């Protein structure tokens, strides 16, 4: 039965409008008395949807590594906020005596709030510090990455995390010019790379910034570490719903749900076909994407893909 709920009462829609809201709540197939985890609380929109479907016996653990997300905390006895990186999911749940849960949601990447506050340094639209940290207690900022990474390291992140067409040229240009001028702000960085921008400048800058952000926050490593923990954490019959915003993340999630790991068994050993016991049953074979209404009303939903799987 559908458990769709109104998509109009998000706790803080100025902070962030949740994407694929009904689709996520619906496919999580929430057990009213269950224990759930929202790995990415943000503005609390998805969390509110989960809480609405829980009885007074249910519980929701909500993680977010950005202190700003705490502005949006809803007063609800069933909600336990964990102000940490979801790569430490099991560790923090164990501190709360939780060994297994009924479902997990992760709505990856950054919130609209993080993009909209120029001082956070995530957006190409404002000048601000070259920062991009979701957790401002961490040391690695975008400025440090740009100033200290080798040409090869920069090439790799621009190519893999940003799919920047001239990643090699860009990396070389940065390394050759980064000591010639101050490099602490977005505008200074944009000026530095202006000579090698290729194609549509907005698209190009968005790709470069995405690559830096993923590196600064170690997003792919954190995602893989969190997913691997789900194999033991989610109860049989429980579900995991993951929303991604770019192809690299989506591939990681797709492969994980297929194999329960990140080793490609087939290419390692062709005889392994059929031998390995599956860990996850796919609820949707193709990722769920936003419908026309949502696409019209929320630009961010354009690249969102939801994959859901049930623990076997
Ligand atoms: C797209 S927003 C989530 C929005 C939320 N679903 C809502 O309805 O408002 C992503 C949030 O996850 C947080 N985040 C991203 N990666 C994280 C990680 N590895 N650990 C903890 N929080 C993370 C970000 O700080 C951000 O607030």
Mutation pick for ligand 1 pocket among 22, 42, 217, 252 (CB with most ligand atoms within 8 Å) = 42
> Is 6's pLDDT higher than 80?
no
> Is 231's pLDDT higher than 50?
yes
Strand partners, 36: 60, 103
The 10s digit of each residue's pLDDT in 121-146 is 999 999 999 999 999 999 999 999 99
Distance CA 181, CA 188 (A): 8
* DSSP state for residue 287 in the 8-state scheme: P
HSE toward the beta carbon, residue 42, CA cutoff 13 A = 27
The 10s digit of each residue's pLDDT in 55-107 is 999 999 999 999 999 999 999 999 999 999 999 999 999 999 999 999 999 99
All structural domains of the chain, each given as residue ranges with its CATH number in brackets, are 21-112+219-311 (3.40.50.150), 139-216 (1.10.150.170)
pTM (2 decimals)?
0.93
- Nearest of 34, 93, 22 to residue 63 by alpha carbon: 93
Distance 172 CA to ligand 1 centre (A): 33
pLDDT at 4: 29
* 294 alpha carbon, distance to own chain's centre: 19
Give the number of other CB atoms < 10 A from CB of residue 237: 13
Distance 72 CA to ligand 1 centre (A): 12
């Amino acid at each position: 039965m559908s458990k769709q709920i109104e998509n109009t009462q998000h706790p803080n829609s100025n902070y962030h409008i949740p994407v694929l809201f009904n689709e996520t709540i619906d496919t999580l197939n929430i057990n009213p008395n269950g224990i759930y985890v929202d790995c990415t609380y943000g503005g609390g929109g998805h969390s509110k949807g989960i809480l609405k479907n829980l009885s007074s016996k249910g519980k929701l653990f909500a993680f977010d590594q950005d202190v700003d997300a705490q502005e949006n905390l809803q007063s609800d006895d069933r909600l336990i906020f964990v102000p940490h990186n979801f790569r430490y999911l099991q560790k923090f749940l164990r501190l709360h005596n939780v060994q297994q849960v009924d479902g997990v949601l992760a709505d990856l990447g950054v919130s609209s709030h993080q993009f909209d506050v120029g001082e956070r340094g995530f957006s190409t639209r404002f000048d601000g510090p070259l920062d991009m940290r979701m957790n401002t207690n961490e040391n690695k900022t975008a400025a440090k990455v740009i100033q200290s990474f080798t040409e090869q390291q920069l090439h790799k992140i621009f190519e893999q995390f940003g799919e920047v067409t001239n990643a090699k040229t860009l990396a070389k240009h940065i390394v050759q010019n980064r000591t010639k001028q101050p490099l602490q702000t977005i505008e200074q960085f944009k000026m530095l790379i202006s000579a090698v921008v290729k194609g549509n400048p907005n698209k190009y800058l968005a790709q470069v910034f995405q690559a830096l952000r993923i590196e600064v926050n170690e997003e792919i490593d954190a995602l893989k570490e969190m997913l691997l923990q789900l194999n033991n954490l989610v109860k049989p019959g429980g579900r995991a719903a993951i929303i991604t915003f770019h192809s690299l993340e989506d591939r990681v999630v797709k492969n994980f749900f297929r194999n329960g790991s990140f080793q490609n068994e087939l290419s390692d050993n062709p005889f392994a076909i059929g031998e390995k016991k599956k860990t996850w049953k796919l609820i949707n074979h193709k990722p769920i994407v936003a419908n026309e209404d949502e696409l019209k009303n929320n630009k961010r939903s354009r690249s969102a893909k939801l994959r859901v799987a049930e623990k076997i």
